[in-house]
Every structure is written in C-alpha cells, then in structure tokens.
Amino acid sequence: MDYQVLADLLFPHVTDTPESLEERFPLREVPEGAVITRMAPSPTGFVHLGNLVQGLTSERMAHQSGGVLFLRVEDTDAKREVPGAVEVLIDTLKHYGIQFDEGATHDGDAGLYGPYRQRQRAGIYHVYAKKLVSEGQAYPCFCTEEQLAAMRETQEANKENTGYYGKYAMWRDRSLEEIRSELNAGNPWVLRFRSTGSIENQFKFDDLVKGKLTITENDVDHVLLKSDGIPTYHFAHAVDDHLMRTTHVVRGDEWLPTLPFHIQLFKALGFKLPKYVHIGPLMKMDGTSKRKLSKRKDPELALTYYKAEGFPVEAVYEYILTILNSNFEDWRRANPDAPADTFKFSPKKLNPAGSLFDYAKLTDVSKNVISRMDAAKVYELLTEWAKEFDPDFGSKLAADPELATAVLAIGRGGKKPRKDLAVWKDAKPYMGFFYDEYLEAPVFDEKFDKSVVLDALTRFLEKFDINDDANTWFNKVKEITEEMGFTSDMKAYKADPSAFPGTVADISTFIRQATTGKTNSPDLFTVMQILGYDRTVARIRAVMETLK
C-alpha cells in the first residue's frame, strides 16, 4: 500500500512537518548535565502526598542541576477534569516550595515550549501521527467495542495474552479500499501503532530508581489517537517530552508495564529516549503488613490534611526528604541550620519498592523543625494557621503578639531546645492557659488533703516576689517544702517514701496547677514572669478560694 496516500487520506489538514516542529522547539540552552523535567498531572483536583514526592524529586533534580521544571497539564480526559484543579495544584506545590519555571500557570501558559495543555496540542500530535502512517508505522482501526470485547473473550477462553496483537490485530493489514469505504461510511476509527516487537525478545534497561530492568518487547498495537483525535497518554508522552526537550521523566511506577511500548514509540518516532525515574508508591504499615496509601482509607494521603493538622510546610518537606533519601537525617544532624534545599538530593537513593510513610516519624521531624524556628517565626506560622483553623485562638494570638511570642520563646534556642509542638494544633493545649478564657480548673491529686494544697499555696503567696531570679524563686519553693515536712531530697524519698508526705515535686505541682490549671507546663518561673505579679497572684488566690 502507498502509505503516503493513506496518511493524506487520514490527515488531510496536516501541513506542518516534524522538521518544522523541531525548529520551532529547539534544544534548550542549558549547562551540561542540566535536568529538564516536568510534572504532568491530570487535572482531577486531588493533590496528594504522591504529587509532592514526585514534585520534590523532579524539582530537586531540575534545580540542583541548573535545569528546568515545567508543568504540563494532561487534560486529554475531559470527563475527569475538575475546574480549578490546575490552579489548586500550582498553589499547593508552591506552598510546599515547589515552583515551576515554565508551563501552565494561573493565567495561561508561560514558556517557549507550549502550549502546555494537551488538548491545545492536537495539531502537533497529528503531525507525528501522519508521519507514522506515511511510514507504515501506524494505521486506522475501525473495530467496534463489541468486536474488541469478543476478541478479549476468545483470548481469555484460549488462555492467551489479551490485547490487540498478532493475528488479533484485525485492521493491521487492510487495503486502502477497505479503509476508504469505512471512512466514507463515516465510521469512527482510532489510530494504532504497528508493533514489530515480539514477546520472545528481551532487553536491558536502566531506570534511575529501579536500577537494571529486563524488559520484554511490546507486541501490542496500542492506540495512539482516540476516535476524537485526542492522543492516548503514551503517544502524548512521547511527542510532548520530545518536543519539550525533557531529559528525565519522573513518574509513578504504575507506568512501568507500558514502558516497553514507550521505548518502542520513541524509537519509531526517531526521538532520543529520556532517562526514566519510576517512583514506587507510598506505603504504610497496616498491622504487620505493608500496603499502598489509599485515597479512600487514608486521610493522610491528601495534602489538605497536613495543613489542617498544622504541620509546617518545612516539616512535611523535610519529612519527604527523610523518606526519599536515607542520608538526609544524618545530613540534618550535621547541618541543623542549613536550608533543606542545600542538601544534595539523589533519585538513586529512592527505595525502588516505594517509601514507607510513618506518621510518628513525621511528627518527630516536625518537632525538630519547629524547635529550630525562632519564636517570631513560630508565632507567625501558628497565628496564620489558627486564624483559619481555630479562629478564636487565632484572634487571641493576634491581639497580643508580645505575650504569645514571649510564651513561644520559652525553652527555645540553645543546644537542646524544647520540643513541645509537633503541629500547630498542639499549641492551644500547650499554652492556652495563658488566656483566662482557656484556663481550666485544676484537679489536685486526691492523695493530698485540700488543706495541704491550700497551705502550700498560702505559703507560696507569702514569699512570692516577681523580682526574684529563678534560683531564689526555686529556693523559696524548697523552703516551703521543708517547712511543710515534705522533702527536697529525692534520694531520701525514694529510699523511704513513707517517711515524708511528699516531695518538692508535689509542692511545685500544686503551685503549677494553681497557676496554669495543669500538671504540665513550660518552666513555671518563666510562666509567672510572663503572667506578671497580679495575674499570677489572682489565679492562685482564686484556686485557694475553692480549697477553703
């Protein structure tokens, strides 16, 4: 058959050529070794941890090497598209420190390699479709759904591989006349690739995450263009990543099964194959076994979850680095104050089987991240969070920045900073007692008679001087301890607990509870300094009234 005639018949309006497209999208002028990569999401509106893993991997690879990260919107499935999804994705990733250099933006496209939305690229795909047809590498298929279903049934009954291949490829070798008559009848068609591969043949392939793979050739005549002329993922991947000059394809490993076809397709089109970085899924422990994080079962898959819980973005970012590159933690220990993006990220360190998501570890990382922030930064981020997720607390924080910052400064700085906060949600239970409205009534240990607690508080107020330094303050608490027959000698107490009604820890707890309503609080001396003399005394007095 004269394939050129067929190509003209199928694509009469295509006048552009692959050569002109090569000229329109020249090789990029980037330094040697620069990684050009992309995110290519389908705009379905759900932004999840997997996007962040992929985004961070691509972003690091691009920007560490002086390359480019661009955003391509894979909107070929109009039915699944959610309005505003692209904007949500851009904003969410930006929030996590991942910025695109080019591609789809809030207002159209930015960059010289667009359009960056696949539905707007139909004309470009058709140029290559026509070329493949003219070379006998692609052909139209007029099979109906019913025919394909029947084919599948036969294959299943015969225990054969399913798919459109070999003798099942019904339209592979039809005549021009047959094709013409279908077209004249107005019957819908898809464009299929004419595979010359055989499942008897294997070859070696190197994936940056998976390592050396043995790949079996593809023998299926996969669809390149659907009946509406819109490309399948496979065809668009080859055409777009070639013309956009992608050097590295970072994507989920659900694409591994079709990788043999992609390799074949790049070759058929005469394109240089990019490098592949196939990322395993995020896993979690479910009892004693591992399973993939699921959208349905695991709220923590959605990125909105981390925002609502109040994980600082830096914490989520560092946590992802921790699970992707096992040496990140050591690096962080050695470089506690360095910006996370000065860490040398390597895709080769990703676990080929997928990374294990561990909430406890995330919490740990987050505590460390927050403990390294200064009080002003903690105040700023906490207030921003609270305004959205706990407006009452948010307005209290905003009303008195000085108070909140002083509280948040307790135990901050120095070699061993306190790690009370893992998420912003922890802040209210931690510091809410500074605000009278959140102050809870103390519940004293029933082991002690009310009169004992009252006695301790009375003695404390008699001695309390807001101008005392921490040592003097604590010595006074010890004096009260001794005066009441309690002991400051913990060893002696341990040796014979029955010899004392209690210890200095109990006396401190009475005072702490009367001041804060809680048995646990930041350093009590500092708490009183921040509350000031009047508020401290008023609180203790009010509690004393309840003990009388």
Positions touching ligand GLU (CB under 6 A) are: 40-42, 74, 237, 249, 251-252
CB nearer to ligand GLU: pick between 220 and 279: 279
Q: Which is nearer to ligand GLU, 278 or 396 (CB)?
A: 278
| CA separation, residue 99 to residues 88, 106, 469 (Å) | 13, 13, 50
Whole-angstrom distance, CA of residue 411 vs CA of residue 386: 22
How many other CB atoms sit within 10 Å of the CB of residue 441?
9
Q: Are 78 and 303 in contact (CB under 8 A)?
A: no
At closest approach, how far in Å is the CB of 58 from ligand GLU?
9
Quote the CA–CA distance of 381 and 311 in Å, as a whole number.
10
* Cβ–Cβ under 8 Å, residues 261 and 209: no
In the complex, the smallest distance separating the C-beta of residue 256 from ligand GLU, rounded to whole angstroms, is 12
274/310 with CB nearer ligand GLU: 274
Largest CA distance in the chain: 111
What is the C-alpha separation between 357 and 50, in angstroms, rounded?
11
Q: Which of 53, 130, 46, 119 is nearest to 89 (CA)?
A: 46
Which is closer to ligand GLU, CB of 59 or CB of 74? 74
141 vs 223, which CB is nearer to ligand GLU? 223
* Minimum CB distance to ligand GLU smaller for 58 or for 509: 58
**Sign (positive/negative) of CA torsion 368, 373, 379, 385?**
negative
* CB 270, min distance to ligand GLU, A: 20
DSSP state of 65: T
Query: How far apart (Å, rounded) are the C-alpha atoms in residues 16 and 7?
Result: 13
Answer for the pair 237, 183: CB distance below 8 angstroms, yes or no: no
Least distance to ligand GLU, CB of residue 27, Å: 21
Residue 86 or 530 with smaller CB distance to ligand GLU: 86
Strands 138-141 and 211-216 turn out to be: unpaired
Using alpha carbons only, what angle is made at residue 299 by residues 58 and 355, rounded to the nearest 5 degrees?
40
Contact 49, 252 (CB under 8 A): no
Q: How near is the Cβ of 241 to ligand GLU at its closest, in Å?
A: 8
The distance of closest approach from Cβ of residue 289 to ligand GLU in the complex, given in angstroms and rounded to an integer, is 26
Q: How far is the CB of 109 from ligand GLU (least distance, A)?
A: 17
- Tell me the closest approach of the beta carbon of residue 54 to ligand GLU, in angstroms: 7
* 228 vs 388 by CB, closer to ligand GLU: 228
